[in-house]
Amino acid sequence: MGLVPTMGALHAGHLSLIERAKRECSPVIASIFVNPKQFGANEDFAKYPRAFEIDMQKMEQAGVDSLFAPEESEIYPNGFSTYVNVEGLSERLEGRSRPGHFRGVTTIVMKLLQIVQPNFAYFGRKDAQQARIITQMARDLNLDTEIVVCPLVREPDGLALSSRNAYLSKEERKAAPVLYRALEAAKNELTHGVRDAAQLQTSLRRKLESEHLATTDYAEVVDAQRFEPVLKVNKPCYVLLAVFIGKTRLIDNLYVEPKSKGSEELVFHF
């Protein structure tokens, strides 16, 4: 059995998770639940895009066998007071910018896994830190579910697919691929032998700041397991971006790893 957890507002990225699940599992269950516990006080819970009927049609067309779409009162009944938190990993980067966010994520994912009891659960690599935290949670708590992390999906101009892209105005949408261009610039430097993380981060910020609608939250190079800053890119790493385009906060990443043990040649995953 495979599970694809979503918050709805489905796009091609979600559908790619369903497609992967369909290749590997039967039945495939998808969930839609806009989780209030992962939104901060000043975030976009109230305006987060909701299109339940359209999402249901997309899931049916994609071959989902069952849809789980619980009410908030089912998931968080009166008196709910138990949370799951992955310490350390949850306080960095996204956790630093969005306090309490990952506690909400791990709690809802744990509940969905307990309710559905899937053999496999599918998540996208666009939310790289989230995927890492969920994988850690499943390992630490001896869950029977295997967490499968799938490649992110992009628009033709490189913008990573996200439900929040719907917030962008026409001008902001033209500006948003600056995140991808910054990652491409980092890849180019790495390809030409740059391994110093501070130099890469300076280049990332310079590229992002070339777009007047972009405001950088963070642009960092981190260890792919601990999500802690590195000095040199000589092991599996993520180049991570969080950028406001106007008022819309977007994230993106580039995964970098040596081609083989001890190799100077790198492999890149956008």
The answer to whether 126 and 252 are in contact (CB under 8 A) is: yes
Q: State the pLDDT at residue 204.
A: 98
Q: State the pLDDT at residue 50.
A: 95
Q: State the pLDDT at residue 263.
A: 84
Q: Name the amino acid, one letter, at 197.
A: A
Tell me the average confidence (pLDDT) per consecutive run of 10 residues in the chain, 270 residues long.
Answer: 98 98 98 97 93 97 98 97 98 97 98 98 98 98 98 97 97 98 98 97 97 98 98 97 98 96 91
> In the annotation, is 14 catalytic?
yes
The verdict on domain 163-269 having CATH code 2.40.50.140 is no
The answer to whether 62 and 15 are in contact (CB under 8 A) is: yes
Q: State the pLDDT at residue 150.
A: 98
Q: State the pLDDT at residue 42.
A: 87
Q: Tens of pLDDT along 240-261?
A: 999 999 999 999 999 999 998 8
Q: State the pLDDT at residue 262.
A: 79
Q: State the pLDDT at residue 254.
A: 98
pTM: 0.96
Query: Which residues touch 206 (CB under 8 Å, ≥6 apart)?
Result: none
Q: State the pLDDT at residue 79.
A: 97
Kindly report the CATH class assigned to 2-150.
alpha beta
Residue 32's nearest CA partner among 1, 61, 64, 77 is: 64
List, as one string, the DSSP characters of 129-146. HHHHHHHHHHHHTT-SPE
List 14, 101, 192, 212, catalytic entry:
14
CA distance 74 to 104: 16
Residue 138's nearest CA partner among 113, 103, 116, 101 is: 113
Domain boundaries, the chain: 2-150, 163-269
Can 2-150 and 163-269 be said to share one CATH topology? no
